[in-house]
Amino acid sequence: MIKVRALWAAAELGVADHVGAAPVAVDALAAATGTQADPLYRVLRLLATNGIFRELPGRSFAHTPHSEALRSDHPTRTRAAVRLMGGVDFWNAFAGLDQTVRTGESGWQRTKGMGFFDWLPNHPEAAPIFNDAMIGIHGGEPPAVAEAYPFAGTVVDVGGGSGNMLTHVLQRHPAATGVLFDLPHVADAARANLRAAGLAERCTLLTGSFFDGVPAGGDLYVLSHIVHDWDEASCVRILANCRKAKKAGGKVLVVEMVVPGPNEPHPAKELDLVMLTVPGGRERTEAEYTQLFAQAGLRLTRIVPTKSPVSVIEAE
């Protein structure tokens, strides 16, 4: 816990942004981050013993590959992931895990008085961190998914966020076209990202709630890390909306980790507790996905593994 909080403090303060090619004295880092030199030194000293920054004589610090990843401009968006997962709001939600186990109520609901996805639109300062954190946490998955599955036709990314998944899919499959569908408060970031990727002409951006319905006429409906956020009834509603909207012969693709059998280590079992504690959702086994799809009028046809921890779970 102590090391995790030290890492979060360094990420929150943006220390890595102020370390360049040459070592920087802690006094200069403190001035740049608005902190006191001695407490900052003690935090960085601990991190350096774990390969995050490298301590040099004179209480100065240089980068390591791990601390480089904490820069705000690093493509992995690791800093945002650390800020989100190590922040006070997440820690408060996890602090009462025993109560969540007793009652089934998510820690976020208990501490905030509302669900995570009700809270997020009312805190615009948190939305960019969340979007970047999703890249930081799941960043290796979109290219792996794009490589593993034969995307074609019109691909509707339901709850597509900043457009990271759809960008990789369209870049890998140049004959496909895309529709990104999400709530209005994420539309501007998605539009800018798709334009920057040169995909504005191949992708339509539409806004709305997937609980009310999704754009009709697509060939493939992608739900990447959407289903694991919600309870069973909500998932059935989302999946049924995709079933109703797709073309005849179209498919619904759930991109999630699949929980393996007993005693087998897998990151899905850790992420499952995040889902339990924050949004109130869950990770699922193959049998649980089969049952979930059936409730929405769908049939699980295959599970396509990728080079990342997630699979493409196909239903028709």
Q: Kindly report, residue by residue over 209-266, the tens digit of the pLDDT.
A: 999 999 999 999 999 999 999 999 999 999 999 999 999 999 999 999 999 999 999 9
Residue 139 has pLDDT above 80, yes or no: no
Q: How many domains does the chain have?
A: 3
144 and 228 in a single domain? The answer is yes
Cα–Cα distance between 311 and 302 in angstroms, integer? 10
In the sheet that holds 300-305, the strands lie side by side as: 203-207, 177-182, 154-158, 220-224, 251-256, 311-315, 300-305
18 and 156 in a single domain? The answer is no
Give yes or no for a contact between 171 and 196, defined as CB atoms under 8 angstroms apart.
Answer: no
Residues 6+ apart with CB under 8 A from 81: 132, 133, 136, 137
46 and 120 in a single domain? The answer is no
Look at residue 228 and tell me if it is in a domain.
yes
Cα–Cα distance between 11 and 18 in angstroms, integer? 12
Which parts of the chain are beta strand (E)? 24-25, 54-56, 60-62, 154-158, 177-182, 203-207, 220-224, 251-256, 300-305, 311-315
What percentage of the chain carries pLDDT values higher than 90? Answer: 81
Look at residue 190 and tell me if it is in a domain.
yes
Cα–Cα distance between 107 and 109 in angstroms, integer? 5
Question: Which of 79, 157, 161 is CA-nearest to residue 120?
Answer: 161
10 and 147 in a single domain? The answer is no
Which residue, of 73, 101, 117, is where some domain finishes? 73
pTM of the model: 0.86
* Mean pLDDT value across residues 271-299: 96
197 and 252 in a single domain? The answer is yes
230 and 311 in a single domain? The answer is yes
52 and 163 in a single domain? The answer is no
CA 8 to chain centre: 17
pLDDT score for 75: 85
pLDDT in tens, 6-62: 999 999 999 999 998 899 999 999 999 999 999 999 999 999 999 999 999 999 999
Cα–Cα distance between 273 and 280 in angstroms, integer? 9
Look at residue 81 and tell me if it is in a domain.
no
Give the catalytic positions in this structure. 228
145 and 94 in a single domain? The answer is no
CA dist list (Å): 55 to 49, 51, 59, 67, 239: 9, 10, 7, 12, 51
pLDDT score for 130: 81
118 and 139 in a single domain? The answer is no
160 and 306 in a single domain? The answer is yes
pLDDT score for 137: 74
Look at residue 83 and tell me if it is in a domain.
no
* Mean pLDDT value across residues 151-156: 98
Domain hosting 207: range is 133-315
138 and 123 in a single domain? The answer is no
Q: Which residues pair with 315 in a beta bridge?
A: 252, 300
Q: Which residue type occupies 2?
A: I
Residue 122 has pLDDT above 90, yes or no: no
With cut-offs at 50, 70 and 90, classify the pLDDT of residue 123: confident
pLDDT in tens, 169-185: 999 999 999 999 999 88
Q: Which residues pair with 269 in a beta bridge?
A: none
Residue 193 has pLDDT above 80, yes or no: yes
